[in-house]
Each structure stands twice: as C-alpha cells, then as structure tokens.
Structure 1
C-alpha cells in the first residue's frame, strides 16, 4: 500500500544567491516551478520531511521557507480562481479497477 500524497505549495525567500541556487535545484527535483520562488509538489509525508530536512541544511536563519499543504478542495478550485492552465494536473493514462 502506498503512502498518501498531498499537494504542497513551497515558497522561499533566500538572501544569498548561492544558497538560493542550491535550494532551487533541490526543490526542482521534487516538483514544478510555478513562479520565481514558488513550487508545487506532490509529496508523501516522508518525502515532505526529507525535503524539509535537506532544505534546513542549506538555509540560514535570515532565510524564509513555507511549506503549505493544500486540500483537494483547494486544488480543484485553483483553475476557477486563476487562468485555466495555471495548475494543470496531468490525468493518469491508465486506470486500475
């Protein structure tokens, strides 16, 4: 049985360009960039904690980090609040019954 996953909105404000680049490259491996320092990621609790732990090794006290879990209701209504393609979710190509 697989772990439950949720959508997360991850945003950060990092003062040092070198640390910013490290964080950017790390998060890019977990999700998709929406804006300059905002990512969306489909993560299990274990993946979220691993990412947070890896980011804490990069960040300093002056940096900011937010990991926000989104409910399914929030995710389903995002396109109605924004442009229709703002949060495109690819449909599964197969269905297990």
Structure 2
C-alpha cells in the first residue's frame, strides 16, 4: 500500500532538531522523500504498523505526524508536477 507521511516537528530546541533528524531518517528507511517533510512509503500492513509505532514514539508533545493511507492503488492517485521527476513507487522502493 502507498502511504503518504507528513510531519511538523518543533525544532526550537536541540532535542527537537534531534527528533526531526530521527523522524526523517526513519521515514527514509521506508520510503522516498518527496518534499522536506513529506514521504511516500510503499509498505505492507505489518511495516505500516511498525512505522506508525516508531514515529509516534519519536514525536514530542508539540509535534504533529499525519498518515494518509492511499491503499494498494495509491500510485494511480498521485499526480506530480514541477521540478522533480516522478518515479515508479512499485519498483523504486527497497524492501524493508
């Protein structure tokens, strides 16, 4: 399934900046960064539950993480325009 993950992390403190790096690195382990705080992740249901659990544990009380489950046909719902080239999410992701 294709999952879109967005986050907003309070980086006013050194701890917040560390959380931001950890959250971004975790998302990179599961998917592709498409904007600064937005990732597209191709995961199965087990990976999805694990990823949500890890990210929710990492976030602080002033942070926000959103998960948009686009389902198994999610790649057909994504339209992309602008500077960066699109990629085939089905084949460009590494298995975790």
Give the TM-score, by structure 2 length: 0.75
Give the TM-score, by structure 1 length: 0.74
Aligned residues: 84
After the TM superposition, which parts of structure 1 deviate over 3 Å for at least 4 consecutive aligned residues?
A: none
2:61 matched residue in structure 1? 61
- 8 Å Cα contact 2:3-2:43 kept in structure 1: yes
Structure index of larger Rg: 1
C-alpha RMSD over aligned residues: 2.1
Q: Which runs of 5+ in 2 are unaligned?
A: 11-15, 92-96
2:2 matched residue in structure 1? 7
Task: Give the deviation of 1:90 after TM superposition.
Answer: 5.9
1:28 matched residue in structure 2? 28
Q: Deviations along 1:46-87, whole A, 9 cap, x unmatched?
A: 101101111122111210001101142x531423x635x654
Once residues 57 and 90 of structure 2 are traced to their aligned partners in structure 1, the CA distance between those partners, rounded to angstroms, is: 35
2:87 matched residue in structure 1? 88
Secondary structure of the structure 2 residue equivalent to 1:41: strand
After alignment, is 30-39 or 55-64 more displaced? 55-64
Q: Which runs of 5+ in 1 are unaligned?
A: 1-5, 93-97
